[in-house]
Chain A
Amino acid sequence: MTLAPETTDLKVQLKLEDDWFTVCDLAQLLPGRGVAALLPDGRQVALFRDRGGALYAIDNRDPFCGAAVLSRGLTGTHQGRPFVASPLLKQRFDLETGQCLDDEAVRVATYEVRAS
């Protein structure tokens, strides 16, 4: 992945309570592939970047199996909405709302995220 020079200094930040928490360089996020971040309170967040450059952040825990692996799933678009499929049992989660697309009763937390 070659990145335009002006984007290389950008940082990925998460909104926690009232502050923006800096996670990593934007360049570390490959379109279509996630990374996991550890929050100060021990929670884990999965961060993604899509082909158009949009960023998403959801809880990293797979609510079906308990393992913290959602960041390692494959991403895609379903009816215009971005999603990640868990690498364990392949359930899909909407990246904007955290809603599980394969089980109405399940939702994971989402976070506000930006590059700055």
Chain B
Amino acid sequence: MTATLGATPTIVLVGHGMVGQRFLEALAERGLTATHRVVVLCEEPRPAYDRVALTSYFSGKTPEDLSMTDMEFIETHGIELYVGDPAETIDREAKKVTARSGQVFEYDTLVLATGSYPFVPPVPNKDAEGCFVYRTIEDLLAIEEYAKTKATTGAVVGGGLLGLEAAGALKGLGVEAHIVEFAPRLMPVQVDDGGGAALLRTIEDMGLSVHTGVGTQEIVVGEDGAVTGMKLSDGSELATDMVVFSAGVRPRDQLARDCGLTVGERGGITVDEQCRTVADPHVFAIGECALASDGRVYGLVAPGYEQAETAAATIAQDEAEFTGADLSTKLKLLGVDVASFGDAHGTAEDCLDVVYSDSRAGLYKKLVIGRDGTLLGGILVGDAEAYGTLKAFTGSVPPVSPESLVLPAGAGAPTQLGPSALPDDAIICSCNNVRKGTIRGAVTEHNCTTVPEVKKCTKAGTTCGSCVKVLGQLVTAELEASGVEVDKGLCGCFSQTREELYEIVLALRINTYQDLLDRYGRDGAKSGDGCEICKPAVGSIIASLAPTIGASGYVLDGEQASLQDSNDHFLANLQKNGSYSVVPRIPGGEITPEGLIVIGEIARDFGLYTKITGGQRIDMFGARVEQLPLIWARLVDAGFESGHAYGKALRTVKSCVGQTWCRYGVQDSVRMAIDLELRYRGLRSPHKLKSAVSGCQRECAEAQSKDFGVIATANGWNLYVGGNGGATPRHADLLAQDLSDAELIRLIDRFLMFYIRTADRLERTSTWLERIPGGLDHVRDVVVEDSLGICEELESLMADHVAHYADEWATTINDPEKLSRFVSFVNAPDTPDPVVGFIPERDQIKPDLPLLSIGMRPAEDVLEGSAQR
């Protein structure tokens, strides 16, 4: 770039959208932020955010979650970012940009990334109160506000990608939604008639009304000037309280026009293959505002990213070009998979179609094949599983017949093409243009072993997420290929995963550990004694399925006693000096004064240390093993039950005081917390389970940090899953909204049983949700949409658990044989362990630790070795 000697050259970026942000990252990667002054003019009131994921705002994402701008990045690279200050004029002669605030910036290089604006057809009253567009976070906030206060019906003008998203959002806001599309089918750009029909069927089934082949002629307004309906081209009128225009976008090229840059006939700033404007070598245009050298304006983010990279490379005087891009997309619209890739409409000469269509099931799959068998493109509606692989094969002859790729499972032999069949230069992540070779390299050369690591290393999978599944398969395949024996076995005794063992136990009704080990253990482990990893894991599987597989539901019965972790075996938590803590269940944290007094008296009589736990209950510490039955006899007598503080099981369901007392509460959160705690108490699971119920959005019970958290809404309950406190905190994800009591419980039943079925040992719901292929979407498909058809079974497994629950402490204190185990010494049942001692602190007791080390020095001939500590 030409710069005055001595002065730092300046790059001014106009527009801080998705593409603008990527451009800044590309500048930084090339070291240009160090050698240039970089100024960014951002029109919106917030820096760049993920517009592609805009609609997820309605499923619980906050504007902060959507942000794509790491302020630390901006600061470290010395980027001057002016938020809420758009560029108003450009003086190309003087190479100056003037912003609305009046600031003037001189540039050496100017980059326009101003994106698009939503096209609003010029119909009468298009600007009336109640008319909206769908492009920015501010648009969403306005739509939400209006839908909540003033609208019961809404109409979306436009049945394309954005229109369907907008209609879904309206539906989510509780508004009856209509879609009006001028073309004869939905998503006219992406799908053909067959695909449109499959889509229509499913969308109407969801309760959305679709009007295709009609145009909007006029917006009808009431006396107050607000929308009351719209007139359609077929003469009919549709009553509606609000209208969202989603009829396509137009490049924002006004600024460029005003300063004399060349624009296309139908808009878009004309650029060359380097993304440089054809009229001025000092000015670039990238993203949705640019008319690329192939004569197209791209309305997708992936080509925009490529343009951003091209412009940055050109500024760095590297070679790069953008000559056009693939328009492949995979979307989940209103829960329906829709994908199109390559030459989807079969425009190539002589090409042939392979079509599978089942409109009853809302399925439509079409592949476009060239004369020589080359896969040219395709459309998938209703099931886009194969998208990742098919897209990557586009342009080549797939190794199996195309028919077999679209046939449904069960019809003939459906072929699952593994990603290992793909060539190295196949693009796996089109958003970020990452090829298979790069992903393999991340594993083999950069030592990435997990999908999150690979994402970080290659950027693949970080935008729309549609490629994450294939990414996961590739990582595993690559690890396996590079000799890293990915032994997914549970432990040295079993080569199966926990999930596989669960399936075996359930399907074959195997109800003892020994039987499982002898039949399914690894060769060397069969008929052995197992180990400390698989015993509790299998013990937990047997316990969760006990009533169904015909095992005892009592964890100390027979063989089960020997499988339990030692805390479970004593139904209490072992402390550092060999004493135990006792935690009675206090459902929902609600306790009567009498209950408190009983606990107080017991703690006083046995000299226990008491503390309120982080789980809204009371822990009593310092019980000797032989005191446990005596303490529990009194607790059970007073109506208390085991709190399972020791088990990988349901811990607590915390509550806030809710509607009954709190001025903000909208539902009875305490009652719901108690109901949930009583329903799931005693449920053994891969790891502990925690829950909470808040009475309103203020969230005093911290439900969003729980494995399953519930927040009251005016219409019912929102269910969040996969939250975690602990070492790696994770905010829970919204699974479903506005559920009735019965719907909530049914969904939690399914969710928990699906987790118990498929999680690894000691895997909290948070890590499970991050790990399983498809993540939250997959879980939602399975438990909400019943995509695997297993919900009935999940519910019945839970019903079995609930029906057979019994308090294990009550069972234990009534069983003399079990009680005989609660002694310090088998040969001296009345003698307490002398190493367990206590000293006073703050009016209570604490373990006498020196006593432990005194105990460490017995006669030398006996103890041959001991740790140096």
Partners in one complex: yes
- The docked-state distance in angstroms from the alpha carbon of A74 to that of B825 is 18
Tell me which of B578, B821, B826, B865 contacts A67 (CB under 8 A): B578
Tell me which of B574, B824, B835 contacts A87 (CB under 8 A): B574
Which chain A residues border B559 with CB–CB below 8 Å? 1, 32
Q: Does A42 contact B (CB under 8 A)?
A: yes
- The docked-state distance in angstroms from the alpha carbon of A73 to that of B568 is 11
Tell me which of B514, B849, B864 contacts A98 (CB under 8 A): B864
Q: Which residue of B lies closest to A47 (CB)?
A: B826
Instruction: Tell whether, in the assembled complex, residue A36 and residue B566 are in contact, meaning their CB atoms are under 8 Å apart.
Output: no
Which are the 4 A-B pairs with shortest beta-carbon distances? A66-B852, A32-B562, A76-B531, A107-B865
Tell me which of A30, A31, A78, A109 contacts B492 (CB under 8 A): A78
Tell me which of A76, A82, A100, A106 contacts B532 (CB under 8 A): A76
Residues of chain A in range 14-58 having any CB-CB distance to chain B below 8 Å = 23-24, 28, 30-33, 35-38, 41-44, 47, 50-51
Which chain A residues border B535 with CB–CB below 8 Å? 32, 74, 76
Interface residues of A (CB under 8 A from B): 1, 23-24, 28, 30-33, 35-38, 41-44, 47, 50-51, 59, 61, 63-69, 72-78, 80, 82, 85, 87-88, 90, 92, 98, 100, 103, 105-109
23 A–B pairs (Cβ distance < 8 Å), ordered by A:
A28-B820, A32-B530, A32-B562, A38-B828, A43-B858, A43-B859, A61-B855, A63-B865, A64-B869, A65-B576, A65-B852, A67-B576, A67-B577, A68-B578, A72-B569, A72-B574, A73-B532, A74-B566, A75-B529, A75-B532, A77-B525, A78-B492, A107-B865
Q: Which residue of B lies closest to A73 (CB)?
A: B566
Q: Does B831 contact A (CB under 8 A)?
A: yes
What's the dominant secondary structure at chain A's contact region? loop
Which chain B residues border A66 with CB–CB below 8 Å? 577, 835, 849, 852-853, 855-856
Mask: chain B, 557-582; 1 = CB below 8 Å from A; 0 = not:
01101110111011000101110000
Tell me which of A80, A98, A106 contacts B867 (CB under 8 A): A106
- The docked-state distance in angstroms from the alpha carbon of A107 to that of B856 is 13
Which chain B residues border A78 with CB–CB below 8 Å? 492, 531
Residues of chain B in range 824-869 having any CB-CB distance to chain A below 8 Å = 824-828, 831, 833-836, 849, 852-853, 855-856, 858-859, 862-869
Instruction: Tell whether, in the assembled complex, residue A38 and residue B574 are in contact, meaning their CB atoms are under 8 Å apart.
Output: no
Instruction: Tell whether, in the assembled complex, residue A37 and residue B826 are in contact, meaning their CB atoms are under 8 Å apart.
Output: yes
Instruction: Tell whether, in the assembled complex, residue A36 and residue B531 are in contact, meaning their CB atoms are under 8 Å apart.
Output: no
Q: How far is the CB of B557 from chain A (nearest CB, A)?
A: 10
Q: Does B528 contact A (CB under 8 A)?
A: yes
Tell me which of A35, A44, A77, A106 contacts B528 (CB under 8 A): A77
Instruction: Tell whether, in the assembled complex, residue B834 and residue A90 are in contact, meaning their CB atoms are under 8 Å apart.
Output: no
Instruction: Tell whether, in the assembled complex, residue A32 and residue B570 are in contact, meaning their CB atoms are under 8 Å apart.
Output: no
- The docked-state distance in angstroms from the alpha carbon of A87 to that of B578 is 10
Which chain A residues border B833 with CB–CB below 8 Å? 36, 44, 68
- The docked-state distance in angstroms from the alpha carbon of A69 to that of B497 is 31
Query: Knowing that A67-B576, A77-B530, A87-B567 are A-B contacts, what are 19 other residue pairs whose CB atoms are under 8 Å apart, sorted by A's residue number?
Result: A30-B561, A32-B529, A32-B562, A33-B562, A33-B569, A36-B833, A37-B825, A43-B858, A43-B859, A43-B862, A51-B527, A63-B866, A64-B867, A66-B856, A67-B852, A76-B493, A76-B530, A105-B867, A108-B864
Tell me which of B524, B528, B567, B856 contacts A61 (CB under 8 A): B856
Instruction: Tell whether, in the assembled complex, residue A88 and residue B574 are in contact, meaning their CB atoms are under 8 Å apart.
Output: yes
- The docked-state distance in angstroms from the alpha carbon of A105 to that of B865 is 7
Q: Which residue of A lies closest to B539 (CB)?
A: A74
Interface residues of B (CB under 8 A from A): 492-493, 514, 524-525, 527-532, 535-536, 558-559, 561-563, 565-567, 569-570, 574, 576-578, 820-821, 824-828, 831, 833-836, 849, 852-853, 855-856, 858-859, 862-869
- The docked-state distance in angstroms from the alpha carbon of A50 to that of B825 is 20
Tell me which of B536, B835, B866 contacts A74 (CB under 8 A): B536
Q: How far is the CB of B559 from chain A (nearest CB, A)?
A: 8
Which of A64, A74, A85, A109 lies at the interface centre, i.e. has the most chain B CB atoms within 10 A of its CB? A74
Which chain A residues border B563 with CB–CB below 8 Å? 32
- The docked-state distance in angstroms from the alpha carbon of A105 to that of B826 is 30
- The docked-state distance in angstroms from the alpha carbon of A28 to that of B856 is 28
Instruction: Tell whether, in the assembled complex, residue B558 and residue A1 are in contact, meaning their CB atoms are under 8 Å apart.
Output: yes
- The docked-state distance in angstroms from the alpha carbon of A31 to that of B855 is 28
Q: Which residue of A lies closest to B868 (CB)?
A: A105
Which of B824, B825, B853, B856 lies at the interface centre, i.e. has the most chain A CB atoms within 10 A of its CB? B825
Which chain B residues border A64 with CB–CB below 8 Å? 867, 869
Which of B824, B827, B828, B859 lies at the interface centre, i.e. has the most chain A CB atoms within 10 A of its CB? B827
